Chain A
Amino acid sequence: MSGPLDLVRSLGHATVDRIWRLGFATRFFFAILLHSGTAFRRLPLTLREIYFSGVLSLMIILVSGLFVGLVLGLQGYETLQRYGSTEALGILVALSLVRELGPVVAGLLFASRAGSSITAEIGLMKATEQLKAMDMMAVNPIARVVAPRFWGGVISMPLLAAMFSAMGVFGGWLVGVVLIGVDDGAFWSQMQSSVDFRYDILNGIIKSVVFGFAVSLIAVFEGYDSVPTAEGVSRAITRTVVTSAMTILALDFILTSFMFRGNS
């Protein structure tokens, strides 16, 4: 019989399940930290993951960065010309990218390109008993499989965000200076004088590092905790992308509220 009691029961079950998963994820994170020695002692393992997570994501990051920069250049010029300050286009493009769009959009792209791939790989290794086989061979799967992928993601993410921002600035310059005709010197000099390394760039880097930690942890956790079936792995991949996107946006708000308080 379905009724209010069943609703309460299912809500309770879902809540307990969420809390249990959160606890497991926390323990899992500490287990990764505990077994991270292997990832750094055997550097080729982590370098291989940097290649898969970072280098193979480079194309999508560069192309997206270019288009975001092109759009920023167009929209920025259109807005700034109303106030007669089109020379400030360089500042607008650079600040938008290094403070916000670089880390956030690169994080979202990283989650959908590399995060989903990490989850799928670990999930399929679990489904085909490769993780169990490794465990039976006295090789800890967290040390051998999870930690290198986690650190590979953490290291790749800020580098990708930096590439995204650089490409975006190039896109803004291409539209603003080359196509529309904004003064080249004004574009670069205004940018140089107004973008502060510590306040703008460093905070952007901190954001991308935090997003790298979050997305990498979500990706490896969802893969490791996936139900070892085709449907289970598919759901885990979806959860990785959705949870990562929500986490990035929520963390971005929190970090921004702490970092930028209007005193630039």
Chain B
Amino acid sequence: MSDDILVDIQDLHFNYDGRPVLQGINMKIPRGKVVAIMGGSGCGKTTLLRCIGGQLHPTGGSVRLEKHQVCQMSEAELYRLRRRMGMLFQFGALFTDLTVFENVAFPLREHTNLSEEMIRDLVLMKLEAVGLRGAHALMPGSLSGGMARRVALARAIALDPMLIMYDEPFTGLDPIALGVIGRLIRSLNDALGATSIMVTHDIQESLLIVDYIYFLNGGQVVAEGTPDEIRASRDPFVHQFVHAEPDGPVHFDYPAPSVGQDFMPGGAHVGAA
């Protein structure tokens, strides 16, 4: 594997309760880049992210992170690797019994022997980076969705990770918070010299900040390219996604019997015991 590639995913398969979720994913994430993984709901994006983080074990294929085969690592080895990863969860996943300060200090206290003064300075620096130094004494319950996401981002970068993963970072945010989070993802990635993988639905914001995009559908990579290539793409899936069209390769309707079967006399089966 080239040194330029931080994450190399080869022929990755994952089944959930016998149902295939990922079906032969191949992906390369270069160092220092922000890469988006996009696709409709339930297409396997978050599952893929959790396979990269080692929280799920794939049924086939491999995930290589630097020189490590993530799927074959012991728990202790995985934990050592995760100290160099940061993850932003969809709704922040802040510890609700800890203040903003304590949340950001959490990984520092768990994994370092730094003095309290040093931890204080580092936490305030991280909070300053996301514009929330003044909110250090607040409890997570008193934060807005966007603020909670920014605190979680400060916590994710507390140990200066080499890889930052974002699970739907834009969900439920107003346009201002969305833009702020988007710019933070880009600027923090560049400032820390990290690599970022972002799972998202938000095509317009992603096109502004990412270096490369993979589109997933049905557990497979169906399209990929730089933002310019994606904008110019004539691929029906990409076109439907970028322009938010209801008709196209991705069906809006969940599979169902014909309308006649459900509505014509004698054909009703919905609700039948």
A-side residues, CB < 8 A to B, are: 124, 128-130, 132-140, 144
From known contacts A138-B111, A139-B110, infer whether A133 and B93 are also in contact, taking CB-CB under 8 Å: yes
Q: Are B82 and A137 in contact (CB under 8 A)?
A: yes
The number of chain B residues with a CB under 8 A from chain A is: 22
**Assembly CA distance A72 to B58 (angstroms):** 61
Q: Is the CB of A140 within 8 A of B87?
A: no
Contact A136 B85 (CB under 8 A): yes
Q: Give every chain B residue within 8 A of A138 (Cβ-Cβ).
A: 78-80, 82-83, 110-111
14 A-B pairs (CB sep. < 8 Å): A130-B96, A132-B89, A132-B93, A133-B95, A135-B55, A136-B55, A136-B82, A137-B110, A138-B79, A138-B83, A138-B110, A138-B111, A140-B79, A144-B110
Does B90 sit at the interface, judged by CB under 8 A? yes
Q: Do B91 and A129 touch (CB < 8 A)? A: yes
- Closest B residue to A139 using CB positions: B110
Shortest Cβ distance from residue B70 to the other chain A in the assembled complex, whole angstroms: 13
B95 touches A130 (CB 8 A): yes
CB distance from B69 to the nearest CB of A (A): 18
CB distance from B85 to the nearest CB of A (A): 7
Judge whether B182 is part of the interface by a CB distance below 8 angstroms: no
By a CB distance below 8 angstroms, the chain A residues around B89 are 129, 132-133
> In the complex, given contacts A129-B93, A137-B106, A137-B155, what are 17 additional A-B residue pairs having Cβ atoms less than 8 angstroms apart?
A124-B96, A128-B93, A130-B93, A132-B89, A133-B89, A135-B55, A136-B55, A136-B82, A136-B85, A137-B87, A137-B110, A138-B78, A138-B80, A138-B83, A138-B110, A139-B106, A140-B79
B contact residues vs A (CB 8 Å cutoff): 53, 55, 78-80, 82-83, 85, 87, 89-91, 93-96, 106-107, 110-111, 152, 155
How far is B91's CA from A144's CA once the two chains are assembled, in angstroms?
Answer: 22
Q: With contacts A137-B110, A138-B82, A138-B83 known, is A132 near B55, CB below 8 A?
A: yes
A132 to B165, CA, bound (A): 13
Given contact pairs A136-B55, A136-B82, A129 touches B96 in the complex (Cβ within 8 A): no
Q: In the complex, what residues of A have CB within 8 A of residue B110's CB?
A: 137-139, 144
**Bound-complex Cα distance A130 to B111 (A):** 18
Q: Which residues of B contact A128 (CB under 8 A)?
A: 91, 93, 96
| Residue of A124, A136, A139, A140 with most partner-chain B CB within 10 A | A136
B237 to chain A, nearest CB (A): 30
Question: Which A residues lie within 8 Å of B87 (CB)?
Answer: 133, 136-137
Most B Cβ at <10 Å: residue of A128, A133, A140? A133
Closest chain B residue to A145, Cβ basis? B95
Residues on B with C-beta less than 8 A from A134 are 95
Residue from the list B53, B79, B90, B111 in contact with A129, Cβ < 8 A:
B90
Residues on B with C-beta less than 8 A from A139 are 106-107, 110
Smallest CB separation, B157 vs chain A (Å): 12
Give the distance in Å from the alpha carbon of A129 to the alpha carbon of B87 in the complex: 12
A144 contact set on B, CB distance < 8 A: 110
